[in-house]
Chains A and B, each alone.
Chain A
Amino acid sequence: MSLWRLVLKELRHRKGNFALSLLSVSVAIATLAGALTLLRAHRQRTESLIAEKQAQVEAAAAKMEDEIRKITKNLGFNILILPKDQDLQSVYAEGFAEKTMPEAYAARLADANVVTIAHILPSLTRKFDWEEARRTVILIGTRGEVGEQKKPLLAAVPPGKLVLGYELHRQLNLKEGDSVGLKGRTFTVHKCYPARGSKDDITVWMDLAEAQQMLDMAGRINAILALECNCATLDRLAEIRAEVAGILPDTQVVEFQSQAVARAEARNLATAKALADLELEKRHREAMQREGETLAAWLVPLVLLGCAVWIGVLALVNVKSRLGEIGILRALGVRSGQILFLFLGKALLTGVLGATAGFGLGYGLCAAWNPGAGDLFDARVLALSLGLAPVLAAAASWIPAQIAARQDPAAVLRED
């Protein structure tokens, strides 16, 4: 016969009281374990979601960067460096500058190694009466890119050769390799462009030096086309203007509002928006997590307190119903410390069993409600439950156990 045997026998005898105490501890621990598991699930889901979104944004941004490069390459240059005294109204009306500037400017710009400009293409553009073909065309003299380019976006037109726009080669029935006369000279058709739906369709490209000679404008150009890149700021134009102004003071820089630029900007904006949304989502979820933690910080102690009071009431009822038993045990010589043990031992046992059941319940329900949340098991929560529940039950039973231990056996037996 031992005190533990007595505790176990009493538990079996007063099943109702034990069941209610066990339920109370289980509810308290289920609330605690459930709240902590839910917060863990929320944190894991948030981290997973944010990581997934971040990966999506990064992938989309990388794809956009590549697309922008390709689109910019396909649609042409979007920076135009013109003589400073050139009236832009005329440029927009005619499609090219009337004023000219030294061709050497292109070399000076290339030599300056402007980091914001990757590709430099000087050109001389004029309307030109192509007598042999009996039509007016746009003649562009180009020498390709100035400076050493690792990845030249456009190749130069070799001397003695022409590149023709779609309408020209179609109407003149010309194809690559054909010979054609231009201002008394014979040129070979180097390339025939497909339809672009722009002035390019009535444009003839030729070597810059030959164009200058043909137009009596040796050493002159009227524009430097450039592909901007590597801009650190969103306000590229201001950045490029500042750089170009330092190298070519008597020029002006115009950015064509090409589709590529608009799309690039839109995509840049979309990327920035996506990143901002991601940050907002992160902050929103962090706020939700904090709200959940705050709620749990109030709710869990309240439930624990409520359950502790309930356990205390049940323990008191238990003491009252066992007064006769306490009296006889005391009369038989059982010491007050042993009586205390009977009640606290019962509370500890109830706590351990309640913690196990409560943790299983709280964790199980949360895991069932969050099937995709990954591994929600946290050994620290289990340890906390197993440590806290017996302490809670024992603390709640402390006063009733003290009442039991201090019973006067003579008074109890006399009343009984």
Chain B
Amino acid sequence: MSVLRGASLELGAGEFAALRGASGSGKSTLLWIAGALLAPDGGEVEIAGEKPYALNAEARARFRGRALGFVFQQFHLVPYLSVRDNVLAPRLAHHECDARAAEARADELIERFGLTSRRHHVPSELSTGERQRAALARALLNRPRLLLADEPTGNLDEANARAVFEHLKEFAAGGGAVLMVTHDARAAEQAPRQLTLKEGRLEAERAAAPAQA
């Protein structure tokens, strides 16, 4: 079944885009493709100057670890690892970087996301907001070029959702690109650039300057 038809998206550094669409419209498929997780039947994907689908599976995995960050609605934290270990998990894929530097980066992110007191707690001991912040911190450990967020606030209350959006904006403001998938119009409004996917095509687009977001 063909999900995306002629969809074309270019996202620059510092951009924060929200992709809306009804269930089954293909927005998650677009996210997987952008995340180097699902090879498209046709077309071309280029992220940070690299074509991930031209790489073999192992090299593509390394690429994901190096250039991409993921945030999910279900958080997908490893249940038996502490917050700190979860934040450090991307280092498994990127172990050539210095361990001390990675730990310092993890501690910095944990502090920035207000999780210092929870750093040794496992996910089941955290609130949903804390879990999503931990997931965000994990996504940012390797300083990705592109952050992919799939309904990142879907399970959060308003205050926590607002905090997540602030962090996403902050990441974009720092020069990273964010592609957020959501079906929630209010959540999409948080992004300076909004895209709508309908019947496999990017139909509507509203752009705003990242700096104004």
B residues near A183, Cβ cutoff 8 Å: none
Interface 0/1 of A314-355, CB less than 8 Å to B: 000000000011011111111111100000000000000000
Q: Does A416 sit at the interface, judged by CB under 8 A?
A: yes
B contact residues around A333 at 8 Å (CB): 61-66, 68, 90, 92-94, 142
Task: Report the separation of the CA atoms of residues A126 and B35 in the bound assembly, to the nearest whole angstrom.
Answer: 131
Question: Which of A12, A329, A409 interacts with B37 by CB under 8 Å?
Answer: A409
Q: How many A-B residue pairs have CB under 8 A?
A: 92
Chain B residues in 8 Å Cβ range of A409: 37
Decide: A330 and B61 in contact? CB cutoff 8 A.
yes
Known: A331-B70, A336-B57. A13 touches B64 (CB 8 A): no
CA distance A266 to B74 in the complex (A): 94
B32, B70, B89: the one contacting A414 at CB < 8 Å is B32
Question: In the docked arrangement, what's the CA distance between A3 and B204, Å?
Answer: 45
Whether, in the assembled complex, A172 has its beta carbon less than 8 Å from a beta carbon of chain B, the answer is no
**Cβ–Cβ contact A5 & B85, under 8 A:** yes
Q: Is B58 an interface residue (CB 8 A)?
A: yes
Residues of A near B102 (CB, < 8 A) are 1
Residue among A2, A332, A409 with the highest chain B CB neighbour number at 10 A:
A332
A-side interface mostly: helix
Residues of B contacting A416 with CB < 8 Å? 74, 76
Q: Which residues of B contact A14 (CB under 8 A)?
A: 80
Verify A329–B92 contact, CB threshold 8 A: yes
CB nearest to A342 among chain B residues: B92
| Residues in B whose Cβ lies below 8 Å from that of A413 | 32, 37, 72, 76
User: A10 interface residue, CB < 8 Å from B?
Assistant: yes
Interface size on A, as a range, is 20 to 34
Does B35 contact A335, Cβ atoms closer than 8 Å? Answer: no
* Nearest-Cβ distance from residue B141 to partner chain A, whole angstroms: 9
Binary contact readout B9-31 vs A (1 if CB under 8 angstroms, 0 otherwise): 00000000000000000001000
User: Distance (Å) between the CB of B82 and the closest chain A CB?
Assistant: 9
Does B174 make an interface contact (CB < 8 A)?
A: no
CB-based nearest A residue for B63? A333
Would B28 and A332 count as touching, CB distance under 8 A? no
In contact, B74 and A332 (Cβ under 8 angstroms)? no
User: Given B57, B72, B79, B91, which contacts A13 in the complex, CB threshold below 8 Å?
Assistant: B79
B38 at the interface (CB under 8 A from A): yes
Contact A1 B64 (CB under 8 A): no
Asked if B81 is at the interface of the complex by the 8 Å CB criterion, the answer is yes
A335 touches B93 (CB 8 A): yes
Residues of chain B contacted by A75 (CB below 8 angstroms): none
Q: Is the CB of A414 within 8 A of B76?
A: no
In the assembled complex, which residues on chain A have CB atoms less than 8 Å from the CB atom of B142?
333
With both chains docked as a complex, state the minimum distance between the C-beta of B126 and any C-beta of chain A, in angstroms: 16
- Nearest residue (CB) in B for A327 is B76
B78 contacts A by Cβ under 8 Å: yes
Given A12-B80, A333-B64, A410-B37, A338:B92 Cβ within 8 A? yes
- The answer to whether A325 touches B32, judged by C-beta atoms less than 8 angstroms apart, is no
For B90, give the chain A residue with the smallest CB separation: A332
**B110 contacts partner chain A, Cβ-Cβ < 8 Å:** no
CA–CA, A324 to B57, complex, Å? 19
Asked whether B37 lies within 8 Å of A332 as measured between CB atoms, the reply is no
Q: Contact: A13 with B80, CB < 8 Å?
A: yes
Contact status of A1 and B85, CB under 8 A, knowing A333-B61, A335-B61, A414-B32: yes
Question: CB of B172 within 8 A of chain A?
Answer: no
CA distance A409 to B31 in the complex (A): 13
B88 at interface by CB-CB < 8 Å: yes
Chain B residues, Cβ within 8 Å of A13 = 79-80
Closest residue of chain B to A325 (Cβ to Cβ) is B78
Footprint of B on A, CB under 8 Å? 1-3, 5-6, 9-10, 12-14, 324-325, 327-338, 408-410, 413-414, 416
Q: A329-B89, A336-B58, A410-B32 are in contact. List 9 more A-B contacts (CB 8 A).
A: A1-B102, A2-B95, A6-B92, A9-B80, A12-B80, A324-B76, A332-B70, A333-B64, A335-B93
Q: Name the 9 nearest CB pairs between A and B, nearest first.
A: A333-B65, A333-B93, A13-B80, A328-B76, A1-B88, A410-B37, A333-B64, A410-B32, A410-B38
